[in-house]
A and B are shown apart, each in its own frame.
Chain A
Amino acid sequence: MIEPIARPLRKNPLKRTRLPTLPPRARSRTAHGFTAAAAEGRFVLQRCGACSEFSYPARDACPVCLSAELSFVDAPRRGTLLSETTVRLPADVHFRERAPWRIGLVGMECGPTMVAHLHADCEEGLPVLMSLQIDNSGQAVAFAHPEHETPNMADERQWREMTADPKFRRILVTNGRSAVGQEAVAALKAAGATTVFVGMADPWKPFPGEDALRALQGVQIVPLDIADEKSVSDLAADIGGKVDILLNTTEHVRPGGLLNRRGANVMREEIDQAYLGFVHLAQAFGPVMRMRGADGVNSAVAWVNILSVYSLANWPAFGAYSASQAACLSLSHCLRAELRPGGIKVINLFAGPIDTEWFQTVPPPKVAPRAVANAIVSALKSGREDVFVGDVAEDVRQRLVDNPKAVERELGD
């Protein structure tokens, strides 16, 4: 049984900050089939198209029939913990400072044996459920969970290394005026965040939802205009060392594409707000987050972007907006690589049109701001990297896997 983690004490300023280290990162190219699944929270194994046998670790030919038709497919998650060990003296620095570390051999019901990190409530000889997780190095690992829910299971030490759980963490939500921002603040507080800093451009201007936001305990409204480099760096100077999770809720949606606009003013504004705002945030907050990746229970742990699913395929009705979102998506991959030495996760939420005023003319289904907020919390708690929120986003995702050219043509009709 897991003891609940205690709220961390205020940091002693005289103590050195423990620097992040990463678990071993090298993988074969084939093994990134697991990385792709872990990013989306799916459990897959390789299965032979010729003889249907499952196999593990990642292979380039079936060990039963030598066929090369191995594909990563969703696989049954149940197995039995066959044997376990508690590693007390690992050779690797990352695990040595986290020792004792418990791992086991799991016999999967579908055949293969997997070496896995163990949740503390897994017991030898009993069933476990396997998942694929993104570890601190950004690569996929297998993690075995007890078959049934156990008390405080999310607080388990090894599991918390795999996740970005908001519990006892301090979070900056960059835009408190938006409906998504306000819902996110409430959801993160409900998930146990200690403090939520809420960014507000021109805080003296009243806005709907303000009273409810100010009434929440542990919520601090802070001045932040992300298009203004100085405003961002001023805030980072103030609270940068206390931001464990940064949730970029910037929203700048304007309809229209290329030829029906005159001049680049609207586009420039989109780039200023969405893309350069992201740049300002990353440059101001990224370096200190990267330093604080191993800073105890409330270490820096995740950066979350809310992106339009049309960052993946241009929707000409909102064509310039789609392009600004594509720029942000590309930049997020750069940020992910640059935050990796800190073990900081970069989580991208891909949403279809959100049910807000700027998508007024768009027919349903639209995503409720609360659904986006819940998806953020769930992504942080489960440690996913790419999350598709709502029916439209899921529809676009599936169609892109199927035929990206068809998506381009159909969005343009």
Chain B
Amino acid sequence: MRSSIRTPYDRVVLAAPVTIPYVRYSIESAQWWIGRALKALVENAGITPRDIDGFCLSSFTAGPDSAIGLTQHFGLCVRWLDTIPLGGASAIAALRRAARAVQSGDADIVACVAGDTNHVDSFRHTLENFSRFNQDAVYPYGAGGANASFALIARNYMRTFGVTREDLGKIAVSQRANALRNPHALMKAPLTIEQYMSARPISEPIHLFDCVMPCAGAEAFLVMREDTAASLKLPAARILATIERHNAFGSDPVQVRGGWAMDIGELYSMAGVRPDGLDFVQTYDDYPVISMMQFEDLGFCRKGEGPDFVRHHDLTIDGSFPHNTSGGQLSVGQAGAGGAYLGPVEALRQVLGLAGPTQVKNARVGLASGFGMINYDRGLSSGAAILAGPAS
């Protein structure tokens, strides 16, 4: 591993992990959900809204608002503001930008929030207006959402590397076991591998339990200096390393890897840890096949060894490779851009020892990743962060 020339995130921390429990459908607006998350942040941190001087927003359904409209809506007077429309990569990007803003003194306390509502017609509206390439060259083909696009990626990946549906099923089934310990997960019933295998096809090889359930919800955290957190007596986590990459490997005919593969050397050298030194991993799991791809691209095994890795590990909270300990989007639900935050917020809870029923024993250092924006034929954005708790 080559050594990183990047500036470390010294004396910058994350604190106050917030989840506003999800519901399948909501008649409330995205603004309502984002407002609940901000309220929970200030209560959790023991601050007032006036103490927030930086705000970073991600939402698919807040339109026509971006972060600026919401400053007035919520009475925030900030000196640093960002709107991050990166879908599943939004949380990692938010964490990176906010950390640098705080580190440089451009802001003291940044609220990073993702929230989306889910009206009965919001999902279709999001699909129709997702991107120009999608509008011109995917949506007219009946794909109607990410399922068909990921089916094309999954089929090629499974054939190329000998992945079976059982391998992917193990990821989904393990996450459901984790979710049963998370009172906020929308999926409350156990899932067996038999049920996974016999589920109805949605867009082969994607079947029902490969898909996330769109829902309403919000997730958030605060970024601040270490001394600020100390003065607020807030448990806080350090950022050991981050990576972010967009539109990597564009010449791969079909996507078999994400941008992580380009940057993991830097991720682990900056963090000063090795993949086997992590206590848990939260991957972005819009489909189990994407989580498997990340096991390879994030360095837990080599390309093509994903199925073998899954076969030889227990992916549950108490297992040999605790993965998506909250249950992940597959079992908790996908609250729009909140889906990007689900893993990082859970990772923050884990390293702070605040994960309650889903807590991994002695979790000190963990990884959370993001993946997003299937603009045309592949997911364009990838990112990852390694967080460390005070005990590490």
Q: Which of these, A90, A114, A137, contacts B137 with CB under 8 Å?
A: A114
The residue on A at minimum CB distance from B148 is A87
Given the complex, which residues of A lie within 8 Å of B128, measured CB to CB?
Answer: 24, 26
- Tell me, yes or no, whether A367 is within 8 Å of chain B by CB: no
A27-B136, A56-B137, A58-B136 known; A101+B202 contact, CB < 8 A: no
Q: CB distance B140 to A103 under 8 Å?
A: no
* Residues 127 to 153 of chain A near chain B (Cβ within 8 Å): 135, 137, 139, 141-142
- On whether A135 and B377 interact (CB within 8 A), knowing A83-B155, A89-B203, A91-B123, the answer reads no
Which B129-186 residues have a C-beta within 8 angstroms of A?
Answer: 132-133, 135-145, 147-149, 151-153, 155-156
A25, A63, A89, A107 — most chain B CB neighbours (10 Å): A89
Q: Is the CB of A24 within 8 A of B140?
A: yes
A91's partner among B127, B137, B155, B254 (CB-CB below 8 A) is B127
Q: Which residues of B contact A98 (CB under 8 A)?
A: 142
B124, closest chain A residue (CB): A91
Question: B155 contacts A115, CB within 8 Å?
Answer: no
A240 CB, nearest partner CB in chain B, Å:
31
Question: How many positions in chain B have a CB within 8 Å of any CB in the partner chain?
Answer: 37
- The reply to whether A113 and B142 form a contact with Cβ atoms under 8 Å apart is no
User: Which residue of chain B is the closest to A117 with respect to CB atoms?
Assistant: B141
Q: Does B376 contact A (CB under 8 A)?
A: yes
> Is B51 an interface residue, CB under 8 A from the partner?
no
- Kindly state the separation between the CA atoms of A82 and B201 in the bound complex, as whole angstroms: 21
Contact A85:B142 (CB < 8 A) given known A28-B135, A113-B377: no
**Cα A96 to Cα B124 with chains together (Å):** 13
Contact flag A87-B153 (CB < 8 Å), given A57-B133, A105-B377, A114-B137: no
Whether B140 pairs with A105 at a CB distance below 8 angstroms is: no
> How far is the CB of A259 from the nearest CB of chain B, in Å?
50
Number of interface residues of A (CB under 8 A): 42
Which residue of A is nearest B157, CB measured? A83
Question: Which residues of chain B from 99 to 140 have any CB-CB distance to chain A below 8 Å in the complex?
Answer: 123-124, 127-128, 132-133, 135-140
The reply to whether A94 and B142 form a contact with Cβ atoms under 8 Å apart is: yes
A117, B138: Cα distance in complex, Å: 10
Interface string of A92-110 (1 = CB under 8 A from B): 1011101101011101000
Q: Mark B263-304, 1 if CB is under 8 A from A, else 0.
A: 000000000000000000000000000000000000000000
Interface positions of A (Cβ within 8 A of B): 23-28, 31, 56-58, 63, 82-92, 94-96, 98-99, 101, 103-105, 107, 113-117, 135, 137, 139, 141-142
Extra contacts, 14 of them, besides A26-B139, A88-B203, A88-B204 (Cβ < 8 A), are A27-B136, A31-B137, A85-B151, A87-B144, A87-B203, A90-B148, A91-B145, A94-B142, A95-B142, A103-B141, A103-B152, A115-B143, A116-B141, A137-B140
Q: Which 4 A-B residue pairs are closest in the complex by CB-CB distance?
A: A95-B142, A91-B144, A85-B151, A57-B137
